[in-house]
Chains A and B, each alone.
Chain A
């Protein structure tokens, strides 16, 4: 009796495992999803950037009220004269940093949301507070839906979504390409509009890519021959050109496959049509009822060896 039960138990465990495994096995054979080049994005050319931070100021000026952004003063700035964020934060959607290489080559770098083709944050948000617009491809955040679980922060490989840790009613803060502000009114993002050096180009992803390739071809000595964001995590709509290796600029080395494809596939295989949970419930109900009947008629002592 004991052995039979153990075998059945292990069989059940095995069946559950097999379902979970099926998800993994078929997850690896799938091909990369096609990239939509008509989505909106930005091309940031680090070799053109002069580090004036006009983009940062414009971003905060335009999105301040709608995005819950506030000014961040530096510790030495007792009179609070400057907005001096040290990193992307719950008050800062975009940021310019400076990288100094040992060979005295300097490069600025601008951080903001990469607007992935296959965004992890959208995939993991349990209440659809992060959404990706089907036409523009903009990844937007809705504070009226967000529960503040911060799973999007865990999921984002670029560490872009930021949380307002110090607030009672905190929001997630990230670039939305000015979708409810500057883009609506003027058809261009605030940062791209104000950039005096032409370092930020706003447009459709396909056009930006073509532009980027042309620049590399025209000036091969100026650039690292690589467009960051073209392939990373299934492609991003925010693209980078730079004169120094991207890893030095804080842009991580990432695989070309979107993590969401992997995780969603496993999740969907397990819960396909909700069949597996219902079947498990049905099977266990039958087992439990049968066991109860047996126990009622025979008494429990016979069940134990």
Chain B
């Protein structure tokens, strides 16, 4: 299929590798524990309590997981709004990870909530409750999952348009071992029909896709800020180092620099594992955006603490101030390093700084949702093994799905193209996500 798609390529390689089976095993453990959770109740697998009703399923899978899944959002801003088409090659893998991140966050919520069968209430206007940030987050995340599936369709259409679908044919013939030439002709016609139908549909779809892409920018802006708004209601429980009216703004900027960081990290890791060339040129471009965003974020954060007179709490040396300092230093040092141009060209430093930004940004979200949250005397929370394994299982499913899909669909950037002929004319490419 690679020969038909100039900008993106399928990774050629075996699907059933050793990491595949390790990830599969972890996923299955997770799935088993999820079944236990539904069979025996949430209390049977978690350490959650009435004081800490939200644990790592919310703090990691939803609050942090969706921020890590903001790569698609961050790159789409860059390409479609800041008009930087040279980053377009990164977009499909970014959207794919975003898609996985968000769908699995949604899935985690289904595991986490006690009465998921009542979730149809979100589509029943008489039950709508616009005062609730959760209402807005839930609707936006559901909508964004749909948007991302649509955004990812071009790579599927590509395969449908040009692929011979050998595997599918094999399956078909497997069920009809004594197939005649008539059968083969029929399959051939069906294939032709699919090809021409998709060929008719694909360009029209691409023309309209931009409106979906923009929707894919508005929705994360809304729900990422609202993820911050979720904790506005708990001024007496969330530590003053984190509880502020600026939570929505802080969460929004936070997801942007985390989005760029995860794209860098993901690209470097997949280049390393798949033994592809490092996309240093594109990544250094991303790396120079991160410190600006992080500086804006740190400025809001510090300005707000000064404004509310909470500076003393930073240096109190207690549990909370330590976690604040850890979060703050990771982000400050990470962005300081990224102001240094020379580091942008080194895959190692790009990797280190991206990890720092992700850890710092993720820790901020953990602090808001879990570590800085204190419901009162006598309540404690630390995730149980089963609870953690469900989260691990969900992450494993995510990586597993990504690994398999990049081998089935043209997702990763075509390096030959970008090293030698780049930049190309987008409208000449049949398989770009959105025409140039």
Contacts and interface: CB of A to CB of B under 8 A. Distances in A.
A239 to B, nearest CB: 19
Interface stretch (B119-127, B172-180, B318-326): B119-127
Contact of A120 (B116, B210, B213, B233): B233
A262 B218 contact: no
B134 interface: yes
B229 A263 contact: yes
B132 A123 contact: yes
Given A271-B136, A285-B211, A262 B53 contact: no
A81 interface: no
A126 B434 CA distance: 35
Contact of A125 (B50, B77, B132): B132
B236 A157 contact: yes
A259 B231 CA distance: 10
Nearest to B434: A292
Interface stretch (A54-62, A106-114, A165-173, A199-207): A165-173
A5 to B, nearest CB: 5
Interface residues of A, number: 83
B51 interface: yes
B131 A260 contact: yes
Interface stretch (B79-87, B160-168, B192-200, B409-417): B79-87
B48 to A, nearest CB: 7
A75 interface: no
Interface in A136-165: 143-151, 153-155, 157, 159, 161-165
Contact of B113 (A149, A157, A295): A149
A291 interface: yes
Contact of A128 (B44, B128, B226, B236): B128
B74 to A, nearest CB: 11
A292 B436 contact: yes
A126 to B, nearest CB: 4
A265 B395 CA distance: 36
Interface residues of B, number: 87
A155 B375 CA distance: 10
A284 B217 contact: yes
Contact of B249 (A17, A159, A166): A17
Interface string A20-37: 110110011000000000
Given A5-B83, A6-B292, A262 B232 contact: yes
B86 A153 contact: no
Interface in B99-150: 109, 112-116, 118-119, 121-122, 124, 126-136, 138
Interface in B364-386: 373, 375-377, 379
A9 interface: yes
A27 B252 CA distance: 20
Interface stretch (A41-49, A177-185, A187-195, A296-304): A296-304
Given A128-B121, A300-B425, A303-B86, 9 more contacts: A124-B233, A125-B129, A126-B135, A128-B126, A148-B113, A154-B233, A264-B131, A266-B232, A295-B83
Interface of A: 5-6, 8-10, 12-13, 16-17, 20-21, 23-24, 27-28, 87-89, 120, 123-129, 143-151, 153-155, 157, 159, 161-171, 250, 252, 254-255, 259-260, 262-264, 266-268, 270-271, 277, 280-281, 284-285, 287-289, 291-292, 294-296, 299-301, 303-304
18 contacts: A24-B246, A128-B128, A149-B112, A150-B53, A151-B230, A163-B42, A167-B41, A259-B233, A263-B233, A267-B229, A267-B232, A270-B225, A277-B221, A281-B214, A288-B81, A291-B80, A292-B434, A295-B426
